[in-house]
Amino acid sequence: MKRKTVELLLETLRLRERVSSEQLQQRWATADLSGLMELLTHEGADIWFSRRVQQLAVSMPEPFRSALRTSVRGTVHRNMRIDAQTLAVTAMLTDAGVPWLLIKGQARRAAEDRYPMANARPIADVDLLVSNAHIDAAWQMLCARGFKRIYEEGEVDWVVHHHLPAVMDDSNVSVELHRTFNDSIAPDEAWRRATDRADTVSWTGYEVRVPNATELVWQAMSHGAADGDRGYYLRTFLSVAAVLAEVPRIDWSVIQARIQANEIVDNETGLVVEPERVYRWLAIAAAFAGVDVPPTLCPKLPATLLDLLAWRGRVLASSISVRVKARLLDEAVRLELGMTFTPPSRHATPWRRMRAVCTGALWRTCYRMTRAVA
């Protein structure tokens, strides 16, 4: 994928654009679109891009438009299934007298009247914050009504404490009941933050509460920064950008204090995420919104996704195996973030562990060489 196309993509995705729509129209008319559809799908940015080209009246070739429509329909369909599951589960909780609050992606979707682009990204499951005093009974109630655990203990390499085991019913939509947002925040404090000055919004004909703008930004930003390479996709940055672009009242002092209090912990290593990495993440999200963050939250060096997205586009459009593609994509992000090589499974033999390090070094070398040539 050509670097110029990625530059154009980044400008198009920006909500408060610096380039006129006429200029963008002209540039897209001659742009090389090879690899673009694969990149948009991989990054979870198909709906966002589709809306932006409509807003800007950008004309795209019919084969590409057809592929984009198909991708958007699939994403919208999955999101609507998750919305329906959210309504069903919250109705159960309400009938049982269990206090709950929409959080993360579902909260942003519900608040689309306040943040119009907040529902322009895919969501994966139902995320609800439940009062800690009621969460165990609520989880047992779902299990009694036909929900079953997705993973049994010991089936996966990770252990999550901030939400109860994910469950699923015949709808095949998983549900996570959260007691907090991460292990560094006590459940009662997480509930206080989410409900304090929460906004009441109208969603699918119901009045629901969602966290205020500061908390929505913090939830998405801290989750993305804590996820390391898995949090470095367009869809995660756009989650914050959708809120920031509306220029709501953000209490940046609260966000700064939480970063300095080392509240963001890397989900892979359990170590505190260094502030510079968080500032870099936030700077990229703010760039998509087209707004500035306070100087105290700016990274020391400019932050951009340009080289990384150009690399992803090339890898995704190649004919190499899916497994090799995954490693190439992962190692590039981990190199950008200063992370170690992708860890092998905990059940891997010493030989497989050594091979994982060697191949990781090879993939990183490929990425460095590509960047040097660009």
Same-domain check for residues 145 and 243 = yes
pLDDT for res 315: 94
Parent domain of 206: 3-304
**Residues in the chain where the model's pLDDT stays below 70:** 153-161, 374
Same-domain check for residues 299 and 316 = no
pLDDT for res 155: 53
pLDDT for res 193: 96
Same-domain check for residues 297 and 348 = no
The CATH number covering residue 138 comes to 3.30.460.40
pLDDT for res 269: 87
Write the DSSP symbol of residue 347: T
Task: Please state the φ and ψ torsions of residue 196, each to the nearest 5 degrees.
Answer: -65, 120
Same-domain check for residues 190 and 329 = no
Same-domain check for residues 44 and 189 = yes
The domain boundary, picked from 304, 334, 360, lies at 304
pLDDT for res 156: 45
The domain boundary, picked from 289, 304, 319, lies at 304
Going by C-alpha positions, the residue among 127, 210, 131, 133 that lies closest to residue 167 is: 127
What is the C-alpha radius of gyration for the chain, rounded to an integer number of angstroms? 21
Same-domain check for residues 297 and 313 = no
Per the structure block, which two tokens stand in for 173? 């939509």
Query: What total of structural domains would you count in the chain?
Result: 2
